[in-house]
Structure 1
Amino acid sequence: MRAIRYDRYGGPEVLQLVDLPQAPLAPDEIRVALSHASVTPLDCKLRAGLLKAHFTVDFPKVPGRDGAGVVSEVGPAVTDFAVGDRVCLLARHGTQGSYASERVSYADDLVPIPGGLSDEAAASLVNAGLSAQVSVFETARIEAGMKVLVHAGAGAVGGLIVQLCRHLGADVTATCRAANRDYVRALGAARAIAYDTEDFATLRDQDVVFDLVGGETHARSYPVLKKGGQLVWLVAAPVVDRGAEYGVEVTRAMIADRREPVEAILTMVAKGEIVPQIAGILSLAEAAEAHRRMEAGEVTRGRLLLATG
């Protein structure tokens, strides 16, 4: 099989296209012929060695947190899936990833792709959809009428959070680049604040702020919340919890690999309730270029994909 692999920390140039032998299949395992994998910020940070304190990387490493494709082989103990089933997969931490033409998984790591949903759309939704679904429904528990501010509202996770909050009836404001204002409004934001030309800190009385940026953006988000509001943050730049000072709740959205949130987001997309966001598709051999674009800030609308098949 073809795969992208790296054997040391470094820049995008450490990503190499290699031919690997096909892994044997245990009785309870499932082989998936992958067509697409998404490129996530975590992939880049792991490769660069920026998360050594949090995650162990076993070299050589095949990167990739998720993907989509079709079941090509099942072990004799497998009952939940059959050859020919279209599926998404979650590549759990500590395992080989999805930048490959195929991957061996367990049933618990696979989610059926609803009819009418393309592989590209499904691949763009797995990791991003998991983060958005947990943040909105489980961490913030958004309800109709809430005032919500979403930072990085044009991105893969932020764009889904915008859509989910709007679907639930919230009054959504989002920050983004000036060039993405119309895009973010089209996703459902009532207001789009361009962080490169405007100041979001003039907002007040927000019920919830979703912080996907951290750092200074996190620090400047406290005054926009009403007393008793909630600041929900995902892993980003370092943050300092000032919740007690401002009388607000500060909560990290705890994202763990689970099938149920992914199933829920795929179902919503299949019903037309929200739309997938695909920034572009590169070939598997262009994985280094994909990482370069991510780290250069050139991917600002949705998720960049690799065509792995």
Structure 2
Amino acid sequence: MQAISYAQYGGPDVLEVGERPRPPVAPGEVLIRVRSAAVNPVDWKLMAGYLDGMMQVFFPVVPGWDVAGVVEEVGLDTPEFEPGDEVFAYARKDFVHDGTFAEFCTVPARAVARRPAALSWDAAAALPLAGLTAYQALDRLDLSEDDTVLVHAAAGGVGVLGAQIALACGARVIGTASTGNHEFLRSLGVEPVSYGDGVVQRIRELAPSGVDVAVDFVGGVLDITRGVLAEGGRHGSIADDTVVQAGGHYMWVRPSGTDLQDLAELADAGRLTVPVERTFALDEVAEAFRLSQAGHVRGKLAIRVSG
């Protein structure tokens, strides 16, 4: 099968396009013929070696943890799916080796969900990691419809989904973003606030009593959270472990087909859209990684593998 891989840590220049063996299908797994995959910052951070010691890596590595495609084959004792099913998944495993930037990938059935009909293949592929990150973070913070929520980096790949999930729960959402993204956020129902000097005051003008929940999807914003959190408020971060010393939660996403199915239902109900800024071919992954590294992407970057 055609795949992108790298045989050593490094930058986008270590990526190679070529033939890789099709992965075997273990019991409880499904083999997915990949239609689309998606880029997440963790992909190039893993490739750079930043997570060395956190996860076991076996070279050569096929990167990618997001996938949308069609079930090609099922392993033993996998009654949940059958060949021909349209699915999507957050395909992280317990080790790093066979990823989703390939014509085929295997995923444990427990991490797989039915593809939402309302989303294109690219949008479906762009949802799992970012969507589950946002969904599980807000769930950990006991979000309710009575809450006013502050979403840091509300126009980013995770933040834009977190903002919509909070809105779907009935919460009021304030989101930090650059001025150029304000109209986009307003179209979703988010009350945008600009970054930079005076941000605490601007948030306080919208929420004089403070926010009930603050969720950080960017890092480096703990002082802002402290400045706007109401007494008894809850906060957490996916990017800053120092929140724990400040009474917050530091969170890491887990694969979950059940949670992913909840997100699919939100998408099919018209309550969750997945912005895809740009789509790349499989042999353009290095370019996609460079764009992701630049840090100015609104929404997600998709990798079109077939179809």
Contact 1:32 1:102 (C-alpha < 8 Å) held by counterparts: yes
What residue number does 1:163 align with?
164
> Partner amino acid for 1:123?
A
Q: 1:179 & 1:219 partners in 2: Cα distance?
A: 24
Offset of residue 54 of structure 1:
2.2
What residue number does 1:307 align with?
304
**TM-score in terms of structure 2 length:** 0.90
Contact 1:219 1:240 (C-alpha < 8 Å) held by counterparts: no
> Partner amino acid for 2:255?
D
Offset of residue 107 of structure 1:
1.9
Structure 2, gaps ≥5 residues long: 205-209
Q: 1:8 & 1:188 partners in 2: Cα distance?
A: 44
Contact 2:37 2:305 (C-alpha < 8 Å) held by counterparts: yes
Contact 1:46 1:57 (C-alpha < 8 Å) held by counterparts: no
- From 123, 141, 144, give the equivalent of 1:121: 123
What residue number does 1:111 align with?
113
Contact 2:92 2:255 (C-alpha < 8 Å) held by counterparts: yes
1:102–1:149: structure 2 CA closer, same or farther, 3 Å change rule?
same
Q: 1:26 & 1:54 partners in 2: Cα distance?
A: 24
> Partner amino acid for 1:127?
L
What residue number does 2:30 align with?
30
1:255–1:106: structure 2 CA closer, same or farther, 3 Å change rule?
closer
1:126–1:16: structure 2 CA closer, same or farther, 3 Å change rule?
same
After the TM superposition, which residues 172-211 of structure 1 pair with which residues of structure 2 at under 5 Å, given as runs?
Answer: 172-189=173-190, 191-195=191-195, 199-202=198-201, 203-204=203-204, 205-211=210-216
Contact 2:89 2:260 (C-alpha < 8 Å) held by counterparts: no
Percentage identity across paired residues of the two chains? 35
Contact 1:71 1:83 (C-alpha < 8 Å) held by counterparts: yes
What residue number does 2:133 align with?
131
Contact 2:4 2:101 (C-alpha < 8 Å) held by counterparts: yes
- What CA deviation, in whole Å up to 9, does each residue of 1:54-111 have, x standing for no partner? 2232211111112000012234543221111101122224142111111123322321
SS of match in other structure, 2:161: helix
Q: 2:26 & 2:154 partners in 1: Cα distance?
A: 42
State yes or no: 1:281 paired with 2:279: yes
Contact 2:112 2:256 (C-alpha < 8 Å) held by counterparts: no
State yes or no: 1:219 paired with 2:223: yes
Offset of residue 116 of structure 1:
4.1
SS of match in other structure, 2:167: helix
Offset of residue 240 of structure 1:
5.2
What residue number does 1:99 align with?
101
What is the RMSD of the two structures over their aligned residues, measured on CA atoms?
1.9
What residue number does 1:231 align with?
235
Offset of residue 242 of structure 1:
5.0
- What CA deviation, in whole Å up to 9, does each residue of 1:262-291 have, x standing for no partner? 110011101112212212111111100111
1:77–1:148: structure 2 CA closer, same or farther, 3 Å change rule?
closer
1:168–1:73: structure 2 CA closer, same or farther, 3 Å change rule?
closer
> Comparing 254-263 with 35-44, which one deviates more in the overlay?
254-263
- From 244, 256, 259, give the equivalent of 2:257: 259
What residue number does 1:8 align with?
8
Q: 1:21 & 1:169 partners in 2: Cα distance?
A: 47
Q: 2:15 & 2:40 partners in 1: Cα distance?
A: 15
Offset of residue 121 of structure 1:
2.1
What residue number does 1:246 align with?
none
Q: 1:75 & 1:251 partners in 2: Cα distance?
A: 37
